[in-house]
Amino acid sequence: MNTRLQVEHPVTEALTGLDLVAEQLRIADGAPLALTQAEVRLNGHAIECRINAEDPSRGFFPSPGTIERFSWPEGVRMDTGFRTGSVVTPFYDSLVAKLIVQADDRDAAIEAMDDALAATAIDGIQTTLPLHRALVNAAAFREVAHYTTFIEAEPEAWNLS
Protein backbone atom coordinates (compact mmCIF):
# COMPACT_ATOMS: atom_id res chain seq x y z
CA MET A 1 0.00 0.00 0.00
CA ASN A 2 1.31 3.41 -0.95
CA THR A 3 0.22 5.43 2.10
CA ARG A 4 0.34 8.71 0.20
CA LEU A 5 -2.08 7.19 -2.28
CA GLN A 6 -4.36 6.21 0.60
CA VAL A 7 -4.45 9.76 1.96
CA GLU A 8 -4.43 11.90 -1.15
CA HIS A 9 -6.00 9.93 -3.96
CA PRO A 10 -9.59 11.31 -3.82
CA VAL A 11 -8.47 14.85 -4.69
CA THR A 12 -6.25 13.62 -7.51
CA GLU A 13 -9.06 11.42 -8.81
CA ALA A 14 -11.48 14.36 -8.71
CA LEU A 15 -9.09 16.53 -10.72
CA THR A 16 -7.96 13.91 -13.24
CA GLY A 17 -10.89 11.51 -13.53
CA LEU A 18 -8.45 8.64 -13.01
CA ASP A 19 -9.10 5.76 -10.60
CA LEU A 20 -5.67 5.61 -8.98
CA VAL A 21 -6.38 2.53 -6.87
CA ALA A 22 -7.47 0.57 -9.95
CA GLU A 23 -4.37 1.82 -11.77
CA GLN A 24 -2.14 0.73 -8.89
CA LEU A 25 -3.69 -2.74 -8.92
CA ARG A 26 -3.25 -3.02 -12.69
CA ILE A 27 0.43 -2.11 -12.36
CA ALA A 28 0.90 -4.56 -9.47
CA ASP A 29 -0.48 -7.21 -11.81
CA GLY A 30 2.24 -6.40 -14.34
CA ALA A 31 0.38 -4.03 -16.67
CA PRO A 32 2.15 -0.90 -17.93
CA LEU A 33 1.00 2.60 -17.02
CA ALA A 34 -2.19 3.42 -18.89
CA LEU A 35 -0.94 6.89 -19.82
CA THR A 36 2.09 9.13 -19.51
CA GLN A 37 2.42 12.06 -17.13
CA ALA A 38 2.09 14.42 -20.11
CA GLU A 39 -1.30 12.86 -20.88
CA VAL A 40 -2.72 13.57 -17.41
CA ARG A 41 -5.09 16.54 -17.51
CA LEU A 42 -6.29 18.49 -14.48
CA ASN A 43 -9.83 19.82 -14.30
CA GLY A 44 -10.68 22.55 -11.81
CA HIS A 45 -10.00 22.52 -8.09
CA ALA A 46 -10.79 19.96 -5.38
CA ILE A 47 -10.84 20.09 -1.58
CA GLU A 48 -10.91 17.21 0.89
CA CYS A 49 -11.91 17.41 4.55
CA ARG A 50 -10.98 14.47 6.75
CA ILE A 51 -13.77 14.16 9.32
CA ASN A 52 -12.62 12.61 12.58
CA ALA A 53 -14.40 11.46 15.73
CA GLU A 54 -12.68 14.11 17.83
CA ASP A 55 -13.72 17.19 19.78
CA PRO A 56 -11.63 20.14 18.54
CA SER A 57 -12.91 22.40 21.35
CA ARG A 58 -11.39 19.96 23.87
CA GLY A 59 -7.94 19.59 22.36
CA PHE A 60 -9.10 17.08 19.76
CA PHE A 61 -10.09 14.62 22.49
CA PRO A 62 -11.34 11.33 20.98
CA SER A 63 -15.11 10.92 20.70
CA PRO A 64 -16.01 7.24 20.41
CA GLY A 65 -19.63 6.15 20.44
CA THR A 66 -22.58 5.25 18.27
CA ILE A 67 -23.39 7.37 15.25
CA GLU A 68 -27.08 8.15 15.66
CA ARG A 69 -27.44 9.87 12.28
CA PHE A 70 -25.04 10.13 9.35
CA SER A 71 -26.14 11.91 6.21
CA TRP A 72 -24.55 14.04 3.52
CA PRO A 73 -25.73 15.81 0.38
CA GLU A 74 -25.90 14.25 -3.04
CA GLY A 75 -23.30 15.33 -5.57
CA VAL A 76 -20.28 15.13 -3.26
CA ARG A 77 -17.87 12.27 -2.71
CA MET A 78 -17.98 10.83 0.82
CA ASP A 79 -15.48 8.03 1.41
CA THR A 80 -16.53 6.21 4.58
CA GLY A 81 -17.18 2.84 6.08
CA PHE A 82 -19.61 4.24 8.66
CA ARG A 83 -23.37 4.67 8.55
CA THR A 84 -26.16 5.55 10.95
CA GLY A 85 -25.87 3.01 13.77
CA SER A 86 -22.15 2.36 13.31
CA VAL A 87 -19.97 2.35 16.41
CA VAL A 88 -16.74 4.36 16.45
CA THR A 89 -14.42 2.57 18.86
CA PRO A 90 -11.53 4.14 20.78
CA PHE A 91 -9.15 1.44 19.52
CA TYR A 92 -8.37 2.60 15.97
CA ASP A 93 -7.83 5.69 13.86
CA SER A 94 -10.52 8.29 14.54
CA LEU A 95 -11.19 8.91 10.83
CA VAL A 96 -14.91 8.67 10.12
CA ALA A 97 -14.99 9.94 6.54
CA LYS A 98 -13.32 11.91 3.80
CA LEU A 99 -15.55 14.54 2.18
CA ILE A 100 -14.38 15.63 -1.27
CA VAL A 101 -15.75 18.34 -3.53
CA GLN A 102 -14.64 19.49 -6.97
CA ALA A 103 -15.46 22.71 -8.83
CA ASP A 104 -14.18 24.85 -11.68
CA ASP A 105 -11.99 27.06 -9.47
CA ARG A 106 -10.80 27.44 -5.88
CA ASP A 107 -13.48 29.89 -4.79
CA ALA A 108 -16.24 27.68 -6.16
CA ALA A 109 -14.67 24.63 -4.49
CA ILE A 110 -14.58 26.47 -1.15
CA GLU A 111 -18.26 27.37 -1.52
CA ALA A 112 -19.10 23.79 -2.49
CA MET A 113 -17.23 22.48 0.55
CA ASP A 114 -18.91 24.96 2.88
CA ASP A 115 -22.32 23.90 1.51
CA ALA A 116 -21.43 20.20 1.80
CA LEU A 117 -20.19 20.59 5.37
CA ALA A 118 -23.35 22.51 6.32
CA ALA A 119 -25.52 19.76 4.86
CA THR A 120 -23.59 16.88 6.45
CA ALA A 121 -24.90 15.52 9.75
CA ILE A 122 -23.08 13.18 12.11
CA ASP A 123 -24.98 12.94 15.38
CA GLY A 124 -24.17 10.92 18.50
CA ILE A 125 -20.45 11.70 18.55
CA GLN A 126 -18.37 14.85 18.41
CA THR A 127 -16.60 15.35 15.09
CA THR A 128 -14.34 17.81 13.34
CA LEU A 129 -17.21 18.97 11.08
CA PRO A 130 -17.54 22.36 12.88
CA LEU A 131 -13.76 22.85 12.70
CA HIS A 132 -13.72 22.24 8.95
CA ARG A 133 -16.60 24.65 8.46
CA ALA A 134 -14.80 27.34 10.47
CA LEU A 135 -11.56 26.77 8.59
CA VAL A 136 -13.03 26.95 5.07
CA ASN A 137 -14.62 30.25 6.14
CA ALA A 138 -11.48 31.63 7.82
CA ALA A 139 -10.12 34.70 6.07
CA ALA A 140 -6.61 33.22 6.07
CA PHE A 141 -7.82 30.14 4.17
CA ARG A 142 -9.90 32.08 1.69
CA GLU A 143 -7.01 34.50 1.08
CA VAL A 144 -4.49 31.63 0.79
CA ALA A 145 -2.63 32.98 3.82
CA HIS A 146 -2.91 29.80 5.91
CA TYR A 147 0.05 27.56 6.69
CA THR A 148 0.81 24.14 8.15
CA THR A 149 0.63 25.22 11.82
CA PHE A 150 -2.34 27.58 11.31
CA ILE A 151 -4.70 25.62 13.59
CA GLU A 152 -2.26 25.70 16.50
CA ALA A 153 -0.99 29.23 15.91
CA GLU A 154 -4.31 30.98 15.31
CA PRO A 155 -7.03 29.25 17.34
CA GLU A 156 -9.16 32.40 17.26
CA ALA A 157 -9.79 31.69 13.57
CA TRP A 158 -11.64 28.50 14.45
CA ASN A 159 -12.35 28.57 18.18
CA LEU A 160 -15.50 26.54 18.71
CA SER A 161 -16.06 27.10 22.43
Active-site amino acid positions: 4
| Rounded Cα gap, residues 124 and 147, in angstroms | 32
Cα–Cα distance for residue pair 99/72, rounded to 1 Å: 9
Pairing of strands 121-123, 69-71: antiparallel
**What's the rounded Cα separation, in Å, for the pair 50 and 100?**
9
Instruction: Tally the residues of the chain.
Output: 161
Element at 151 (helix H, strand E): helix 150-153
CA 61 → CA 55, 64, 155, distances in Å? 5, 10, 16
- CB-based contact 73:55 (threshold 8 Å): no
Contact 72, 66 (CB under 8 A): no
